[in-house]
Amino acid sequence: QRPHLPPGPPSLPLLGSVVWLTNSVAEIEPLLQRLFQRHGPIVALRMGARLSVFVADRHLAHTALVERGAALADRPQLVSSSSRRRAPGCAACSPTSSGRRRRPTCRRMWWRRSNTPCSASWCSCASASALDEPAVSAIAVAEREALVYRSRNMPVFAFLTAVTKHLLRARLDTVRVLRRRVTELILPLIDARRRYKINRRGGAGSEPRKQEETTFEHSYVDTLPSGDGSERPLTDDEIVLLCAEFLDGGTDTTSTALQWIMAELVKNPTMQEKLYTEITAITTDDKEEVYEEDVHKMPYLKAVILEGLRKHPPAHFVLPHKAAEDMEIGGYLIPKGTTVNFMVAEMSLDEREWENPTEFSPERFLPGGDGEGVDVTGTKEIRMMPFGVGRRICPGLGVAMLHLEYFVANMVRDFEWMEVPGHEVDFTEKNEFTVVMKKPLLPRLVPRMTTQISTNTH
């Protein structure tokens, strides 16, 4: 017997599910919570003619995304190019992210590099969003300094750091100018790679391309599966997009996570003190900053970051996936082409899985806690999935974890973060591209090394 579609509210032609008569798409999360209570952990909604399925159960998510990951490795085509960039989830949801069953060579190459701890450091993440947010401008300053430090210490990545800085500087400029700049900076890289490949094959014609030839018509060695099952080379335009994605990906998610974590530390001074004690035990006074090597020796710091990502995942859904063929999830039929969404926040706040899930308790990730040994990649099992899991897992996971550890450690080492009367920490959420603090964090920073109290309310 052919399985049924997942349960959900009835539908009307053109409109889709009747719930859209009384609910707005912006309020979809509370609506889904009610539907999960009524129908169970997998529900179907129609938005116009499009069928969307939402999965809130971690076991079903593991089966669908890890065990049978290939069938859900595509992204649905979104309505317009502007909405494509604005899909909920990570900023890196760019045109290059959609419609791929496997990442092209170029992207795999970049991401693999970025996920080794040392080379990851050059990548600027929190800065672009942080610059917009007065409440976390201290973070932007810290990160800019870190960038300078990185470029001094890692010459191999200095070029790419420069590209990042150009991206930031050009923030107020038009997208066209920015794209042009990135193109000019990245095309020599593409040329270098092409020459390398040609030379390796012993071929001729390895001359660098002249400036006036920098059009998007040329295509190169990295390939992409085309619709008919064959491979076609990536165009320059696509390579530039991939590189730009690598440079600005994850800016919003990382800075959102950073702000939630600092807010929790402001609200919980005992935890902040415990973290400070751990940091100072590892770093001596003469050290200018907490270095990347140091953060790996700080289990409580790691626990604070994980607890921040569990309680306040910046993306409450992963980016939408598309069923490449008819498939089954939890005994229900998911027809080919269906958009499938996974509920990140539901899983990490599930009362059946976590003790007092709404409480901020980094200790749960230490030995003996209910989160001990959690693997955020979800390879064996999913407990929480702030970065997604499976084939489309966030490729910036390593960069993001490193940046969060690095910045939290340095900011707590240099300042005591305190609540300001009248500006108490408010954990109310607001849906933007990520789920941000409705009332941004407004703490008082007291420098640790001097007695002078800062009146600066970042």
> Roughly what angle, to the nearest 10 degrees, separates helices 175-201 and 236-248?
110
> What is the H or E stretch that residue 295 is in?
helix 292-295
Q: Which of 187, 399, 408, 445 binds ligand HEM (CB under 6 A)?
A: 399
Q: CB 95 → ligand HEM: shortest distance, Å?
A: 11
Q: Is residue 255 involved in binding ligand HEM (CB under 6 A)? A: no
**Gyration radius of the chain's alpha carbons:** 23
Q: In what order do the strands lie in the sheet with 11-12?
A: 11-12, 16-17, 42-47, 50-55, 339-342, 321-322
Measured from the CB atom, the residue of 101 and 218 that comes closer to ligand HEM is 101
Candidate ranges 186-194, 197-205, 270-278, 314-322; the one touching ligand HEM (CB under 6 A): 314-322
Measured from the CB atom, the residue of 16 and 386 that comes closer to ligand HEM is 386
Q: Which of 254, 259, 339, 348 binds ligand HEM (CB under 6 A)?
A: 254
Q: Is 106 marked as binding a ligand?
A: no
Q: Is residue 89 involved in binding ligand HEM (CB under 6 A)? A: yes
Q: Is residue 88 involved in binding ligand HEM (CB under 6 A)? A: no
Q: Is residue 16 involved in binding ligand HEM (CB under 6 A)? A: no
Measured from the CB atom, the residue of 129 and 283 that comes closer to ligand HEM is 129
Q: Which of 314, 362, 378, 443 binds ligand HEM (CB under 6 A)?
A: 314
**Contacts for 180-184: CB closer than 8 Å, 24+ residues apart:** 182/240, 182/243, 182/244, 182/247, 183/214, 183/236, 183/240, 184/214
96 and 222 Cβ atoms separated by less than 8 Å: no
Q: Which of 249, 362, 371, 443 binds ligand HEM (CB under 6 A)?
A: 249
Measured from the CB atom, the residue of 16 and 89 that comes closer to ligand HEM is 89
Q: CB 1 → ligand HEM: shortest distance, Å?
A: 31
Q: Which of 157, 332, 354, 387 binds ligand HEM (CB under 6 A)?
A: 387
Round to whole Å and give the CA distance between 428 and 105: 41
Residue 314: name the closest of 185, 429, 152 by CA.
429
Round to whole Å and give the CA distance between 220 and 367: 50
Measured from the CB atom, the residue of 267 and 312 that comes closer to ligand HEM is 312
Q: Which of 46, 386, 415, 416 binds ligand HEM (CB under 6 A)?
A: 386
Q: Is residue 123 involved in binding ligand HEM (CB under 6 A)? A: yes
Which 8-state DSSP code applies to residue 210?
P
Measured from the CB atom, the residue of 90 and 266 that comes closer to ligand HEM is 90
DSSP class per residue in 300-327: HHHHHHHHHHHHS-S-SB---EE-SS-E
Q: CB 250 → ligand HEM: shortest distance, Å?
A: 2
Site for ligand HEM in 171-230 (CB under 6 A): none
Measured from the CB atom, the residue of 31 and 257 that comes closer to ligand HEM is 257
Q: Is residue 245 involved in binding ligand HEM (CB under 6 A)? A: yes
Q: Is residue 354 involved in binding ligand HEM (CB under 6 A)? A: no
Distances (CA, A) of 120 to 128, 355, 392, 399: 17, 34, 19, 5
Residue 321 phi/psi, 5-degree rounding, is -110, 160
223 and 233 Cβ atoms separated by less than 8 Å: yes
CB neighbour class for 360 (10 Å; exposed up to 12, middle 13-18, buried from 19)? buried
Round to whole Å and give the CA distance between 458 and 274: 22
Candidate ranges 152-160, 216-224, 245-253, 278-286; the one touching ligand HEM (CB under 6 A): 245-253
Round to whole Å and give the CA distance between 268 and 10: 46
- Number of residues lying near ligand HEM (CB under 6 A): 25
42 and 67 Cβ atoms separated by less than 8 Å: no
Candidate ranges 161-169, 206-214, 251-259, 352-360; the one touching ligand HEM (CB under 6 A): 251-259
Measured from the CB atom, the residue of 9 and 88 that comes closer to ligand HEM is 88
Round to whole Å and give the CA distance between 207 and 224: 25
Measured from the CB atom, the residue of 235 and 377 that comes closer to ligand HEM is 377
Q: Is residue 396 involved in binding ligand HEM (CB under 6 A)? A: yes
Candidate ranges 77-85, 227-235, 373-381, 396-404; the one touching ligand HEM (CB under 6 A): 396-404
Q: How many CA atoms lie within 13 A of 377 on its CB side?
A: 9
426 and 413 Cβ atoms separated by less than 8 Å: no
Q: Which residues bind to ligand HEM, rule: CB under 6 A?
A: 89-90, 92, 97, 123, 125, 245, 249-250, 253-254, 257, 314-315, 318-319, 386-388, 392, 394-396, 399-400
- Binding residues for heme are 394
